[in-house]
Amino acid sequence: MRNFLNWFTSEESGQGMVEYGLIIALVAVVLIVALSQMTGGLKSIFGEITDALEDPAGAGGTP
């Protein structure tokens, strides 16, 4: 039992994976926050694109 406790407290093989997981989680949170802040601007841009595709003559295109 003592050998197991010594091994368990000194084992670090999963440490790298945990660090990568934390980094990925942090990046995901930052992306979610950034995309939620840009929602209004993105809706406006895609709305303009949709309007131009639905009415090319009104957007300065050829009929």
Convert the pLDDT of each residue in 3-56 to its tens digit: 776 766 666 667 778 889 999 999 999 999 998 888 878 888 888 999 889 887
Convert the pLDDT of each residue in 26-37 to its tens digit: 999 999 999 888
| pLDDT value for 55 | 83
pTM above 0.75, yes or no: no
Domain residue ranges of the chain, discontinuous segments joined by +: 13-63
> Residue 8: is it exposed, middle or buried by C-beta count within 10 angstroms (0-12/13-18/19+)?
exposed
CB-facing half-sphere around the CA of 49: CA atoms within 13 A: 6
Rounded-to-integer distance, Cα 1 and Cα 21, Å: 31
